[in-house]
Structures are given as C-alpha cells and as structure tokens.
Amino acid sequence: MSNMLDAVLNSTNAILIIFATFAGIASFFTRAPIVRLAAGMIAVLAALVLGISSRSIFAWTVSAVERPSFPGFILLSVLAVSAVTGLRVTKIPEFRFATAVLAFSGLVLYPAATGFLNKDAYIIGYSGYILPTCTAVVIGIALYRGYLVSALALNVGIASFLLGLGVSRNLWDYLMDPVAWIIGCGTWIAIGGGLLMARTKAEKTLTADQPSAGIGETPISH
C-alpha cells in the first residue's frame, strides 16, 4: 500500500506539468474550458503510451521532476486550473505572494546546495530553528494578509515532515522543490517583463501625444 502511495505521489508533478502545459497550449486556439481540459488529459494519456527507448515519456518526466513539495503541488494545481479556465493568476495577490516567497527561498537554497556558494543552506533543514522560524514568519504574514491557502500549504508541509510522510528527513524538501522554484522565478520574470512593457508603451503614448514644434518655432518651456 505504501509503495502504491509513493508511486502516486511521485507522479503528481509529472501529471500536473504535462496537463497544464498542453491545456495552456490549447488556450491559444480555443477559449472553451472543456476543450482545454480534454487537451490536457489526452496529453497525459499520450505520455503514458508513447515511449522513448524502453521507457514511456511519462516515466522519463517522473524521473526528471520527482515528487513535489505540498506547496509546489498546490502551485501546480492552481496553474492547471488556470490553464483550463483562463484565470489570470498573476493578477491574484496571494499567487504573487506565494511565488515571490518560493522564488526568494530558492535563491537562498539552490545556488548554495549546488556548490555556487560556500554556505550550504540545505543543511539547516535537518535541524535547528532557523528554517522553522523563517517558515513561521512567512505563515504569520500569510495569515495576516488573509492568504489562507498559502498558510495551509506550508502547515501541511511542516506536518508531513514531522509525521515522516516522505523519505527525506530535511524540512526543505517538504516546503519547496525545484519545479516550484522555477515557476516562482518564471512568474516574476513575466510580471516584471509585463510591467516594463506597459511602462514603455505608456512613455511612447505620452511622447506621441505631446505637440511637436512647427518649423521656425521653439518649443514652449514651462
């Protein structure tokens, strides 16, 4: 039973990534949620059937992304819903908050864990009070702002760690994962790019609306 549960949990990242990706691609061609839903489901089934070498595409994806953290699972689930319904999640304050926390946490964790920094932040997930305290602060901010889903996701991650529901004994693995970090960074790159484009467009519009000086005339200075 536990092996079956582990297999299901290990597959959730792959299922959600494939589903959300192809449902999102379908959104470029149709606004119908049912068609987007069908596209995502067909993609998952195709990944199970089609293979590369002796393994299915789905198996390759599972081995690449592995098991998500619970906050990562919630984030991917929200993106899957967004891909089907067309919901603009980047406009939702709680989504911005959650992705910002994940993006910043990943910048603290992964460069150090992969050897780019001298201090390995992954170690603090095994014991001590630094990571639990920081997590408690984030949960407190989330509750204060009314971001109940974010607070719940972090609390479930902590509870899973304390109950030993995963193979890892490091708290980091229950709070975030590389896929969630990539999504968090990608979200804020997209938000930043959108703000920059909007500012550039506004400046061009303002410049175009300003009257130009005629021949032989000098612009009026204020």
Q: Indicate the pLDDT class of residue 154, thresholds 50, 70 and 90.
A: very high
Q: Across all residues in the chain, what is the average pLDDT?
A: 88
Q: Indicate the pLDDT class of residue 94, thresholds 50, 70 and 90.
A: very high
Q: Which residues pair with 55 in a beta bridge?
A: 52
Q: Which residues pair with 191 in a beta bridge?
A: none
- For residues 9, 162, 124, 154, the Cα torsion angle rounded to the nearest 10 degrees is 60
Q: Indicate the pLDDT class of residue 5, thresholds 50, 70 and 90.
A: low
The predicted pLDDT at position 199 comes to 82
154 closest CA partner among 175, 126, 125: 175
Quick one: what percent of the chain has pLDDT higher than 70? 88
The predicted pLDDT at position 28 comes to 92
Predicted TM-score (pTM) of the model is: 0.83
User: What are the CA-CA distances from residue 200 to residues 34, 51, 78, 203 (Å)?
Assistant: 37, 46, 30, 5
The predicted pLDDT at position 220 comes to 54
Mean pLDDT of 75-94: 94
Q: Indicate the pLDDT class of residue 84, thresholds 50, 70 and 90.
A: very high
